[in-house]
Amino acid sequence: MTGPNLSPPPWFVSEQPHPLILASASPRRAELLNQVGIRFLQAPVEVDETWPKDLLPGEAVRSLARRKASVAATRHPGAVILAADTAVFLDSQPLGKPADATEAYEMLRRLSGRKHEVITGITIVDTISHLEISDSVLTEVWMREANDYEIAVYAKSSEPLDKAGAYGIQGMAAGFVTKICGCYSNVVGLPVSRVVAMLQLIVARRKE
């Protein structure tokens, strides 16, 4: 069966900006990009991740993503840089990655039976066209009221320790989540549809 003669979207080999550098060590972000066929090289950077003061949540995560993208751009001239930062907010206060199981338990106890927000800041920098695009995506997440035993067992697993808010919606913590409003992959760590749209802008600029 043959279809219409359409130009391939940017994540196909013939159109995707290359090389694309994922400036993150997150295996979840890498899995999401692989899921939709985006080719990339994973090259994490270390930056000062001190939470920006006096900024709204969306502005703060965009600021952190820009920090990462800026460092990566100096290391990979000629590449397109993708950087991101994800934070969980409860009552407008950020919840970072727990230091240990005790802190994970405390975070999850606070989230239990509540709605919270997951916001990811994204920055894409094309070091050739010098186009920089930054955005943030917000997803609302509701959790059921979980008992202390459930929370303690999950907190003692290895899953919460490298995740903002101390949970992974794609893992065992799915048993806590009752509803989301917004992009699911954003909660995992990268709003893929928004990233693809941003890459399309990079492609368009390179063709000008």
What would the pLDDT profile of 29-39 be if each residue is shown by its tens digit?
Answer: 999 999 988 98
- The angle subtended at Cα 124 by Cα 91 and Cα 19, nearest 5°, is 140
pLDDT at residue 25 in the model: 93
pLDDT at residue 92 in the model: 85
Distance of CA 32 to CAs 35, 38, 57, 72, Å? 5, 9, 23, 20
100 catalytic? Reply is no
Flag whether 4 is in a domain: no
Q: Could you give the CA distance from residue 174 to residue 204 in angstroms, rounded to a whole number?
A: 38
What would the pLDDT profile of 83-106 be if each residue is shown by its tens digit?
Answer: 999 999 999 889 989 999 999 999
E strand intervals along 61-114: 80-90, 93-95
Q: Is the pLDDT of residue 152 over 50?
A: yes
Flag whether 1 is in a domain: no
Flag whether 56 is in a domain: yes
Flag whether 8 is in a domain: no
pLDDT at residue 81 in the model: 97
CA atoms within 13 A on the CB side of 99: 1
The one-letter amino acid at 181? C
Regarding pTM above 0.85, the answer is yes
CA atoms within 13 A on the CB side of 146: 25
- Domain harbouring 53, CATH code: 3.90.950.10
Specify the number of domains making up the chain.
1
Flag whether 112 is in a domain: yes
Counting beta carbons within 10 angstroms of the beta carbon of residue 59, is it exposed (0 to 12), middle (13 to 18) or buried (19 or more)?
middle
Mean pLDDT of 156-162: 91
Expressed as residue numbers, the domain containing 164 is: 20-207
Among the listed residues 48, 85, 135, 148, the single catalytic one is: 85
Contact 125, 150 (CB under 8 A): no
Give the helix/strand (H/E) hosting 149. helix 148-155
